[in-house]
Structure 1
């Protein structure tokens, strides 16, 4: 079982890592960010946009705003500067959500409808909150590997050294 303190730590780590990632991605040309690098979502930009989808989807659900969950696979932010601005806004929303999180919510079951396959699911809320943070870490790992292939040093990503 996780705690609100865990979510608060991960929310701040998430924001810090996203800031670091966007700073690294800003150093490369837009054409390179959009090049197919054989990632799950093809390009660096596509993967950054997918990370936004995941965070918007989960946080919207967690805040009771299911109607704001975007359609899976849609490009939400075709422009990098708009994507970067939205990233900062959503990272702050995640921090604010985590700062007001209660243990009782984490201990409850949470129901949602998947935008990936349309299925209704009920899972422990703590599991879904963990997934939101894990999903971001997973795809950031792909992006740091792609940046490494472009000779861009992402920097330190280890939680104990970042916060």
Structure 2
């Protein structure tokens, strides 16, 4: 059984972290964002592009609106402002999808053709969502390393420091200090 509250929390954290990292990177020069720093997708911009590309792929699979891609490092947007705007829209779409889900829908199978394996795969929608959030976290970790190497501070990234984390998980009745004991 998938925990809808946990997926909601992950959706909020996903959006919060993307907003934080894009805000820091907006203060950088384009040269800094595009600098090849030997990361898997070379640069901050390349990694942001990869995340948006793959989120489109997974959302398309989950919603029945396929998104095709040429490669995992395909550049969707050369312009950072456009990339940032599209990230906001995609995070809103992810949050909207999560808000519509229930345990039955989360367990429903999603069948797609794997881009990497070139074969048909069937997985529960809930597992795909967990993977989407895990994938985001993995690559955002790479981005925070690159940001640090460039001398910028991105602040706290821990889920427990996200404003409203308890409310996002527990709903309208977050734990109080007494309830947490």
Q: TM-score category by the smaller chain?
A: over 0.9
Give TM-score, length-normalised by structure 1. 0.94
| Correspondence for 1:89 | 89
CA contact 1:106–1:126 (8 Å) conserved in 2: yes
| Correspondence for 1:156 | 156
1:147 to 2:150 alignment: no
| Correspondence for 1:70 | 69
Distance (whole Å) between structure 1 residues aligned to residue 68 and residue 129 of structure 2: 16
Could you say what secondary structure the match of 2:122 adopts? strand
Post-superposition CA distance 1:58-105 (Å, at most 9, x none): 111111111x34333321111101000000111111110010012112
Post-superposition CA distance 1:14-61 (Å, at most 9, x none): 011000000111111101111111111011100000010111111111
Could you say what secondary structure the match of 1:121 adopts? strand
Larger radius of gyration: 2
CA contact 1:71–1:115 (8 Å) conserved in 2: no
Distance (whole Å) between structure 1 residues aligned to residue 134 and residue 87 of structure 2: 17
Report the more deviating stretch, 44-53 or 117-126: 117-126
CA contact 2:32–2:150 (8 Å) conserved in 1: no
Q: Which runs of 5+ in 1 are unaligned?
A: none
1:43 to 2:43 alignment: yes
How far apart are 1:8 and its partner, in Å? Answer: 1.4
1:33 to 2:68 alignment: no
Q: Which runs of 5+ in 2 are unaligned?
A: 166-181
**How many positions carry a matched residue from both structures?**
162
| Correspondence for 2:107 | 107
Give TM-score, length-normalised by structure 2. 0.85
How far apart are 1:114 and its partner, in Å? Answer: 1.8
Could you say what secondary structure the match of 1:127 adopts? helix
CA RMSD of aligned residues (A): 1.3
